[in-house]
Structure 1
């Protein structure tokens, strides 16, 4: 598998996963957040709002994956947002303590996947530069 193929596949996977997760949060509210079922209406409202934002984030990944070549600047920007989310989770861990185990798993995934996405960001643009004219 080439870096360009991996980039396009990961961008699509990110897009579909984020849209699905975001819509799940919009539809289920607190029930979509492990350990937050009884958090109350304020957290439910916040979670549904951020679910919509996350679905939009996924649509941005899908947009990027449909471009030819996949734009490196868009991948870097979207990945920076993803990494900022992981850093926010680490800050929460330091300030508030250990969350539900699933949140820790997501943090590990976000911290692992972000460097990979940064590394792949320009794969299609580079592949286009290497094509003979």
Structure 2
């Protein structure tokens, strides 16, 4: 029971990153990353991707109430986040390390999110075995 509460809190806290970053990107556009001016298409694309980020965070939060039964949703959301992280990693390989916020995002995408998914799966497995 304590572990279930702990993983719920961790997912709630971790979900703050995509929710708040996504919301900021939707509202601020490229100004969020310090761009003074950009073509309208670039701003539109950035806001769209920020909306997806916001949606991912809300999706993770939607798992919290029934967490032991949300392994499939957690895995799908995690796969999307890891795919994005791999895209960011390609950018690192092609252009070098980004600034600190983007480097921290890479850590969230390729380390923290998969660990949270693994932890949720462990809790779900234990819950299923206790009820059987």
Give the alignment's TM-score, normalised by structure 2. 0.81
1:106 is displaced (CA, Å) by: 1.8
CA contact (8 A) 2:67 2:120 kept: no
- Aligned residue pairs total 132
For residues 72 and 84 of structure 1, what CA distance do their matches in structure 2 show? 18
CA contact (8 A) 1:76 1:121 kept: no
1:28 is displaced (CA, Å) by: 0.5
Q: Which runs of 5+ in 2 are unaligned?
A: none
What does residue 75 of structure 2 align with? 76
1:86 is displaced (CA, Å) by: 1.3
1:102 is displaced (CA, Å) by: 2.2
CA contact (8 A) 1:73 1:121 kept: no
**1:54-73 map, 5 Å:** 54-73=53-72
What does residue 38 of structure 1 align with? 37
CA contact (8 A) 2:85 2:109 kept: yes
What does residue 127 of structure 1 align with? 126
RMSD: 2.3
For residues 72 and 82 of structure 2, what CA distance do their matches in structure 1 show? 15
What does residue 21 of structure 1 align with? 21
SS of alignment partner, residue 56 of structure 1 = helix
If asked which structure has higher relative contact order (CA below 8 Å, sep 6+), I would say: 1
For residues 2 and 122 of structure 2, what CA distance do their matches in structure 1 show? 9
CA contact (8 A) 2:8 2:67 kept: no
Give the alignment's TM-score, normalised by structure 1. 0.81
**Structure with higher helix content:** 2
With over 3 angstroms needed to count, the CA separation of the structure-2 counterparts of 1:89 and 1:68, relative to structure 1, is closer
| Cα shift readout 1:20-48 (whole Å, capped 9, x = no counterpart) | 22111111001112x43333322211111
What does residue 89 of structure 2 align with? 90
CA contact (8 A) 2:15 2:61 kept: yes
